[in-house]
Every structure is written in structure tokens, then in C-alpha cells.
Amino acid sequence: MDARSRNTQWIKEEALRLGFDSIGVSKAEFLENEAPRLESWLKSGFHGQMSYMENHFDKRLDPTRLVPGAQSVISLTYNYFPKEFQREDSYKLSKYAYGEDYHRVVKDKLRDLVAAMRERLGSFHARVFTDSAPIMERSWAQRSGLGWIGKHSLLISKSKGSYFFLAEIIADLELEADVPFSTDHCGTCTRCVDACPTEAIIPDKTVDASKCISYFTIELKDEIPAEFGEKFEDWMFGCDICLDVCPWNRFSLPHSEPRFEPRSEILEYSKKDWEEITEDLFKDLFANSAVERTKFSGLKRNLKFLKR
């Protein structure tokens, strides 16, 4: 085993020790095949009011524009599937938002990994990402052998399902690349397509984000269009419908990250409790949470829409 292979193997072992569930490596190069798909998605207006998606087109496709001299993209997954869930008769939060904001938690883990790598391998240039920069995470994860992109456009692992966050380290290190995941195990299954109440999932593994419940409840700043009334199935922040119905998620196991543990109120609140939430309680309950992104006014707008 040469030095490149030994270093790659050590990085993988260290990542698993730090709590990541899987890790793979791909060569840092221009994503030529993804370019026309991204351009078509944007031209179709599927990004809705997320105008930031139009920015940094080249950076999304070329990791060397994010890290000059980059040679490797390290892709990782971090499980967030909870042990316990909200009560059935309540307004729903996406499971990823039960605990502390994943940007904080996963980035801390990434920084720990990079620090350990530098201690072992010496100085190198790198940046860490988790849904925090113009980078096509799912494409890199598939290239790194971690899974395939399902009809709902999310990455799926045969052994772990899809309740995990994606993260990346782009580095100017030459590492041993893994074999891309080339088999699509969705087959003829259309459960996610059929279950989406707003028909946001369209053919060719494409999601019209401008129709997605997660988009409406988090990204959209205007009033939610009345035409989607009674289609939200009580989701007040995000949506897990396409994840919940996916057969591969029968393999999801509870996470072991203390920072993802929810406050008891999140699991126990009834619809009435949520409807009566105050701004002070919102700030206390969702301090350092991904739910902060929608703000108190956004959550109240969502609740008003659900209650109508």
C-alpha cells in the first residue's frame, strides 16, 4: 500500500471514529455532466424565489474555484434519524430540525477531522462544507461511492437509507478516489412521487422546489399561495414525506449525537400549544436551531396557513 492509499484509509477510519457514518473520496474536477441539468433546472424556474441558486454557477460545478489547487473531494454522511418522534396529533417539524442546527454540529466535526488530518499529514489547504456553499453535494457523494440519487433527488444508501446530512472537505491533497456509485436501486418504485401532496417531484430525478412544502415553509418570504391549501398535511417547518415513504429508510437507525436530541416540548406540543407559541418561547425553544431560519414571523405565518 502506497502513501496515498495509507493516508486515505487513515482519514476514513478517523472520520468514522469522529461519528460520521460513511466517507468516500472523488477526484476534484469539473462536473461536466451536471452542468446542463443545473442550467435547465434554473431556466425552468424550479428554484422559485431562491435567487441565490443562480449565483456562482461555475463554483457549483468546479471545486477548484472553491479551493484553488484542489485535488480531492471528501464526501461524508452524518446520521440524524431520531429515537423519538413528535406526537401524532401535532403540527410537524422536519426531523432534521429536532435538535441543534446541523450546520454547527457537522461543521464542528469536519473541523475536528481536518485538524486531525493536519496533525497526521502536515500542512494542506482545505475548506469544509455542509449545505453551506455553492457545491453539488449529492453529485459528489455519488461520485465518492456513498449511494445513488433517488427520484426525490436525495442521496440514498442501501444500508442506511437517506436520513443523513451530507458534508464535504475539498482539499489540495492527492487521495485515492473511490469508485462512483453507478446502480440506481429505485427501480420502478414511485412512492415518493406518488406521496408528494404538492406534486413537486417530477420525472428524471428532478424536484420543482417552487412547489415543495419545505420551500414554502422555510425559503418563501411571501404569503403561501392559497392554491396549496389543505395540501401541507400539517407540516409547519420542512417536510419528510418523500423520506418517510421511501422503502430504503427501513434501514435507518437512530443517531447517537447528543446535540441532535430535541427539547421535550418539541415532541410533546399539541397543535394548540404551537398555535399559542410566543416570540420569547420561540427564541428559547429554537435557540441554535435550524428553525431560527424561518423566524418567529415565518413560523406563525405557516401555522396560520395550516389552521385556515
Q: What's the residue count for the chain?
A: 308
Catalytic residue (one of 131, 184, 244, 284): 131
- Give the residue from 9, 158, 152 showing the smallest Cα distance to 77: 158
Closest CA to 175 of 144, 146, 148: 144
Q: Are strands 164-171 and 126-129 parallel, antiparallel or unpaired?
A: antiparallel
Place of cell 420569547: 280
Give catalytic status of residue 131 as yes or no: yes
Query: What is the distance between the alpha carbons of residues 259 and 158, in angstroms, rounded to a whole number?
Result: 26
Cβ proximity of 242 and 206 under 8 Å: no
Give the span between the Cα atoms of 264 and 221, in whole angstroms.
Answer: 29
Q: Strand (E) positions, 216-262?
A: 235-237
CB 26 within 8 A of CB 170: no
Q: How far apart are CA 274 and CA 276, in angstroms?
A: 5
Q: 200-204 long-range contacts, Cβ below 8 Å, gap at least 24? A: 201/151, 201/152, 201/153, 201/242
Residue 16 identity (one-letter amino acid): L
Whole-angstrom distance, CA of residue 100 vs CA of residue 263: 10
CA 41 to centroid of chain Cα atoms: 18
**Residue numbers annotated as active site:** 131
